């Protein structure tokens, strides 16, 4: 498809639905003047189970691939370990395998050709001597304050934090050089790390890259959708009933479109996915018990109807539930058909061990075997002395 697009059309597709682009002139130099494929990477730390918010970057990766870009996906296993041990070191490699299965299936589900897609494992090059030396160089020019500031919205913050949280943003910056890309793509929450990379890489004689950012989809309870909060996210493998139940509880104030995760999901996932599948204009359909279905091909019309309460929270939830379950169906079918994927999932996210409560030592009464002698009651002592007396009579040791 990229061969059929003009340079301007490829550039428009690259920029579509992005919230912000830093140094767009770098991208325009490659696409418009050099007329070659843009080399871009997107990285994900392999920590918690991927959830439905991953559809947002997947849609953009689809746009990049259709625009003829060469896309690398970094499975950042070492980053996963560095971020406050969110993923134990013995599990990160299995989780990276699981992420690869999920991401590939997500892209296939939205009808994306993946021949220009390449997966890279962070530990395959981040443990090399050259990378380590460059990390030392970068750490000599970046202050503690700047490193902490860069990771503030990405790395878990805590009192007396480990040094790994400061290394994390430096490595993410350095990855741009070692992955040999023109640009890095991520959520707008990565902006401070992107700024650090742009400012600091030239200080160790590496070129500055462009940075592209998509919007963050609010969680179901408001705020960022998080892998660590089961109630704020919908897992890729959640059953249709689980999806329906979670969306029923979703945060959606009538007539208010701000911080509405459902509307954002329609805007950044459902409408673009529909457009990718049909290679035309996207469409979102809401069935109603009475009257004709509500059909939207633009988010502005949907927001207008929601503000007017023509599209109620209940109708919106119902429409998103139907569309999302339809989107997840082929992914879950592929999971059920793949024993390898199922085995990887069990290794990557083993069920938590159920710790047995230690048995309380029973306090036995004084008539049970094993009772301490000094706890025996007087009546028992009489019986004990009588028994000894009878034994002595038998042995001839007792006096008459």
DSSP 338-377: -HHHHHHHHHHSPPPP-PPPPPPPP---TTSTT--GGG--
pTM for this model (two decimals):
0.81
| 185 SS3 class | strand
**Tens-level pLDDT at each residue, the chain (400 residues):** 566 899 999 999 999 989 999 999 999 999 999 999 999 999 999 988 999 989 999 999 999 999 999 999 999 999 888 875 566 778 888 999 999 999 999 999 988 877 778 999 999 999 999 999 999 999 999 999 999 999 888 777 666 667 888 999 999 999 999 999 999 999 999 999 999 999 999 999 999 999 999 988 887 655 555 555 566 689 999 999 999 999 998 889 999 998 898 999 999 999 999 998 887 889 999 999 988 999 999 999 999 999 999 999 999 999 999 999 999 999 999 999 999 999 999 999 998 777 777 777 666 555 555 555 555 455 555 455 555 544 444 444 444 3
CB-side neighbour CA atoms (13 Å) of 67: 28
Question: Quick one: CA torsion of 375, 377, 382, 388, rounded to 10 degrees?
Answer: -20
Total Cβ atoms within 10 A of residue 65: 22
Write down the pLDDT at residue 398: 40
User: Torsion-angle region of residue 350: left (phi > 0), alpha (psi -120 to 50) or beta?
Assistant: beta
Beta sheet of 210-214, edge-to-edge order: 18-22, 210-214, 183-187, 39-45, 70-76, 117-121
Handedness of CA 322, 327, 330, 333 (dihedral sign): negative
Q: Whose CA is closest to 398, among 388, 62, 349, 330?
A: 388
Q: What percent of the chain has pLDDT over 90?
A: 65
Distance CA 358, CA 248 (A): 40
User: Kind of pairing, strands 117-121 and 70-76?
Assistant: parallel
Residue 75 pairs in a beta bridge with 44, 121
Q: What is the pLDDT of residues 57-77, one digit of tens each?
A: 999 999 999 999 999 999 999
pLDDT tens digits, residue range 200-221? 999 999 999 999 999 888 876 5
Rounded CA-CA distance 235/53 in Å is 9
For residues 227 and 372, give the distance between their C-alpha atoms in angstroms, rounded to a whole number. 56
DSSP 8-state class, residue 288: -
* Strand-pair category, 39-45 with 183-187: parallel
């Amino acid at each position: 498809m990229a061969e059929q697009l003009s340079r301007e059309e490829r550039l428009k597709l690259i920029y579509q639905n992005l919230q912000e682009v830093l140094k767009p002139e770098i991208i325009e130099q490659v696409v418009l003047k050099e007329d070659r494929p843009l080399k871009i990477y997107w990285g994900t730390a392999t920590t918690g189970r991927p959830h439905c918010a991953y559809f947002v970057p997947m849609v953009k990766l689809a746009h990049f691939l259709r625009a003829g870009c060469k896309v690398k996906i970094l499975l950042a296993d070492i980053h996963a370990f560095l971020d406050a041990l969110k993923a134990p070191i013995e599990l990160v490699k299995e989780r990276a395998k699981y992420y690869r299965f999920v991401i590939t299936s997500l892209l296939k589900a939205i009808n994306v050709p993946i021949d220009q897609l390449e997966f890279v494992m962070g530990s395959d090059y981040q443990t090399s001597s050259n990378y380590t030396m460059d990390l030392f160089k970068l750490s000599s020019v970046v202050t503690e304050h700047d490193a902490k500031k860069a990771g503030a919205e990405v790395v878990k913050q805590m009192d007396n934090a480990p040094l790994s949280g400061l290394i994390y943003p430096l490595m993410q910056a350095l990855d741009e050089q070692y992955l040999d890309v023109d640009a890095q793509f991520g959520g707008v929450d990565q902006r401070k790390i992107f700024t650090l990379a742009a400012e600091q890489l030239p200080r160790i004689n590496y070129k500055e890259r462009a940075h592209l950012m998509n919007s963050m989809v609010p969680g179901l309870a408001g705020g960022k959708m998080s892998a660590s909060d089961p109630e704020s996210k919908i897992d890729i493998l959640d059953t249709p009933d689980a999806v329906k139940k979670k969306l029923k509880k979703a945060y959606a104030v009538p007539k208010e479109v701000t911080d509405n995760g459902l509307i954002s999901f329609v805007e950044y996932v459902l409408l673009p996915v529909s457009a990718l599948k049909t290679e035309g204009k996207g469409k979102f359909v809401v069935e109603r018990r009475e009257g004709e279905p509500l059909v939207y091909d633009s988010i502005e019309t949907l927001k207008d109807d929601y503000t007017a309460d023509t599209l109620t929270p209940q109708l919106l939830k119902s429409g998103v539930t139907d569309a999302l379950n339809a989107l997840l169906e082929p992914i879950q079918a592929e999971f059920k058909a793949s024993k390898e994927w199922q085995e990887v999932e069990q290794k990557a996210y083993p069920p938590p061990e159920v710790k047995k409560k230690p048995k309380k030592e029973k306090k036995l009464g004084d008539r049970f075997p094993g009772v301490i002698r000094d706890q025996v009651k007087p009546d028992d002592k009489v019986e004990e002395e009588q028994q000894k007396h009878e034994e002595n009579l038998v042995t001839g040791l007792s006096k008459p």
